[in-house]
């Protein structure tokens, strides 16, 4: 996993190309930009809290569902939970992180 801390568009583009070519690699931008990318692809109503961001950082290189959030459409159930093999782990991690970092924080 690579977490970007830059606003250099050339660097971001270069590393995002790696993300598409290298298996089990997720290039993650800062929370605000990652949320913009995800909601641009998944739709404005797609739930993506700061806790979800932390889970994406932890799981993106392990589970392709998380890596795919900013790359292609994913499937969620009526409760906003992913439909994937690891959904129970995702739900638990997301719930714990949202408990400690509620979505109403101004980030």
- Note the pTM of the prediction, 2 decimals: 0.68
> Is 26 inside any structural domain?
no
> Is 54 inside any structural domain?
yes
* CA separation, residue 44 to residues 6, 25, 39, 41, 64 (Å): 24, 25, 5, 9, 22
> Is 61 inside any structural domain?
yes
> Is 50 inside any structural domain?
yes
Give the residue numbers spanning the domain of 88: 31-100
Count of domains forming the chain: 1
With a cut of 70, list the residues of the chain below it in pLDDT. Answer: 78-92, 95, 102-107
> Is 3 inside any structural domain?
no
Task: Identify the pLDDT of residue 92.
Answer: 65
Q: What angle do CA 26, 29, 13 make, to 5 degrees?
A: 80
């Amino acid at each position: 996993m690579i977490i970007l801390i830059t606003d250099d568009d050339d660097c971001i583009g270069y590393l995002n190309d790696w993300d598409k070519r290298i298996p089990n690699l997720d290039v993650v931008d800062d929370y605000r930009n990652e949320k913009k990318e995800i909601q641009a692809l998944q739709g404005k109503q797609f739930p993506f809290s700061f806790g979800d961001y932390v889970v994406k950082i932890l799981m993106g290189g392990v589970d392709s569902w998380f890596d795919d959030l900013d790359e292609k459409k994913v499937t969620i159930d009526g409760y906003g939970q992913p439909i994937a093999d690891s959904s129970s782990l995702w739900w638990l991690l997301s719930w714990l992180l949202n408990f400690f970092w509620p979505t109403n924080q101004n980030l």
